[in-house]
Structure 1
Amino acid sequence: MILVTGATGTVGREVVRRLPRDLAVRVMVRDPSRVEGAAPGTEVVAGDYGDPASLDRALRGVRRAFVLTSRVGRDDDARFLRAARSAGVRHLVKVSAAAVADEGADDLITRWQRTNERLLMDSGTGWTVLRPRAFMSNSLSWAASIASEGVVRALYGTSANACVDPRDVAAAAVCALTEDGHEGRIHTLTGPQSITAVEQAAELGRLLGSPLRFEELSPDRARARLRERHPAEVVEALLACAERQRAGAKAGVEDTVLRLTGRPARSFRTWAEDHREVFCRMT
């Protein structure tokens, strides 16, 4: 039995869609009604990292599990690891972040991910860690301003990030969940080239048939916009990440997706073409 957590999220839902149909799969989500794309016979259970009884139910009989946590600063990983050990789970595949390997990264989010990785590696359970760069899907946050103003706004528009298609992260996770040879390994996942926000805006403009204007945000304006969606300490962590990107820390490209899946990582152009209808609905 394979358990998938976060099955309604950007990566988790793609993992569910890509797992072989002949495997026994269970998904754990807070709201089972939101699960889409699961194969017939997939077991869907309600669960939450903060509810030990629900974790015990979700992990009963599970041999391998996909673990994705997102509540920064919470002890969700520790809770899940305790329950997984008690249930006898043999292998955990966790989504972390590429910044963990950067000695210059000391923001709240990266420290939290480092702590979670150490907990996993010291747990006595087999493990695989996936460290993706930023998701290409983050550009969906521009859809509203593209629709209303034909504008993309971002901080440090000429800084490059080797962002990755979430579908490639999911494909790597499926490899680790279904193949031997991944235990004790760390897979850093990037796109095929680094790209700036200005270049992404230009690509989206070509796709939509109308040039988009890029407007660079000042750090103060970016901080104000981020505070509309995140706690202050998370906002400062995101701004620190942006500073590291401006310094070139996120531009490195890896061929991990090709090595794991046998095909190259998808480009931003491919991701945008495949999600064109989202932006078209907004225009």
Structure 2
Amino acid sequence: MILVTGATGNIGRLVVDELLAAGATDIRALTNNPEKAALPPEVEVVRGYLGRVETLHGVFDGVEKMYLAPLEATVREVTTLAAKAGVRHIVDVSGPKDSWWAPVATAVEESGVAWTHLSPGEFMDNSLMWAEQIRTTGQVRDGYPDSANAQIDLGDIAAVAAVALLEDGHAGKEYLLTGPETLTRAEKVRQIGEALGREIPYITLDHDDAVAALEPSMGEFARWYVEGMRDLTEHPQQANRVVEDVTGRPATTFAQWARRRVDEFR
């Protein structure tokens, strides 16, 4: 049996879909709200939340492999329970040892269970931060238009997770996941404009104004995020082909993502 934790989350729900599409038939989905999960009937849905370990009684029974959503606060307790129940392989979303999510990867490794780490870069969905101002003003006011990275589609992360869960040969590997191309923030706004069929001006803010613009939605993380934008101006993130190498299909481009989500920018 394969357990998908966070099964109604932004990645976990897609992992369920990818497993079903690949023909998996023994899937258990952990969600905090089974009534609203709207998961397919062939999936066994169980109530529970990684952040409340007391809700996980029996969840790991009969599970051989699991997708682990990243929740640092309880990851050691969760992985200990999984190991004791006989889980043999954990595929987690975490990050390199010098990253924000490194404690998740460390806890998984120290559980003694075979592991595969998925270390994605910034999600394409983060570009939805521009949606409201595009809808209401027709422009984007943001900092560092030349800041460049290789954002990744959530579906591609899920696809890699499903392959790692279903196929042999992925244990002990860390996959650094990116989208297929490195784009500047200005180029992403241009591609959103192409999806909408109109030009979207990019109004450049200075550093402090960019932080102030993001503080209402990001709070204390706004300054950290803008500092990262500045760093990516000098040292752009390079795209890789790991998604395609693992799944056998090309990673989603930003233009494809923008066309798929275009209604959110109208």
When normalised by structure 2's length, the TM-score is 0.91
What residue is the counterpart of 2:258 in the other structure?
A: 272
For 1:243, which of 227, 230, 234 is the aligned residue?
230
What residue is the counterpart of 1:17 in the other structure?
A: 17
Aligned pairs for 1:190-229 within 5 A: 190-229=178-217
Distance across 2 between alignment mates of 1:177 and 1:276: 32
What residue is the counterpart of 1:88 in the other structure?
A: 86
> Structure 1 residues 137 and 230 mapped into 2: Cα distance closer, same or farther (>3 Å)?
closer
CA contact (8 A) 1:56 1:87 kept: no
Query: RMSD between aligned alpha carbons?
Result: 2.0
Distance across 2 between alignment mates of 1:121 and 1:241: 28
Distance across 1 between alignment mates of 2:247 and 2:106: 27
Instruction: Give % identity.
Output: 35
For 2:28, which of 17, 26, 29 is the aligned residue?
26
- TM-superposed deviation, 1:168: 0.8
Cα deviation 1:220-241 (Å, max 9, x = unaligned): 2333344323452x44443443
Distance across 2 between alignment mates of 1:92 and 1:194: 30
Distance across 1 between alignment mates of 2:261 and 2:217: 24
What residue is the counterpart of 2:245 in the other structure?
A: 259
- TM-superposed deviation, 1:8: 2.1
CA contact (8 A) 2:70 2:101 kept: no
Structure 1: stretches of 5+ with no match in the other structure: none
What residue is the counterpart of 1:126 in the other structure?
A: 114
Distance across 2 between alignment mates of 1:13 and 1:82: 24
> Structure 1 residues 244 and 35 mapped into 2: Cα distance closer, same or farther (>3 Å)?
farther
When normalised by structure 1's length, the TM-score is 0.86
CA contact (8 A) 2:5 2:50 kept: no
Distance across 1 between alignment mates of 2:147 and 2:34: 39
What residue is the counterpart of 2:5 in the other structure?
A: 5
SS of aligned partner of 1:138: helix
SS of aligned partner of 2:217: coil
> Structure 1 residues 146 and 183 mapped into 2: Cα distance closer, same or farther (>3 Å)?
same
Distance across 2 between alignment mates of 1:113 and 1:270: 28
Distance across 1 between alignment mates of 2:94 and 2:32: 21
- 1:155 is matched by which residue type in structure 2? G
Distance across 2 between alignment mates of 1:216 and 1:69: 34
CA contact (8 A) 2:65 2:87 kept: yes
SS of aligned partner of 1:229: helix
> Structure 1 residues 45 and 191 mapped into 2: Cα distance closer, same or farther (>3 Å)?
same
CA contact (8 A) 1:56 1:83 kept: no
Structure 2: stretches of 5+ with no match in the other structure: none
Cα deviation 1:200-249 (Å, max 9, x = unaligned): 111111111111111233332333344323452x444434433332231x
- TM-superposed deviation, 1:185: 0.5
CA contact (8 A) 1:52 1:83 kept: no
Distance across 1 between alignment mates of 2:214 and 2:56: 32
What residue is the counterpart of 1:76 in the other structure?
A: 74
- 1:64 is matched by which residue type in structure 2? K
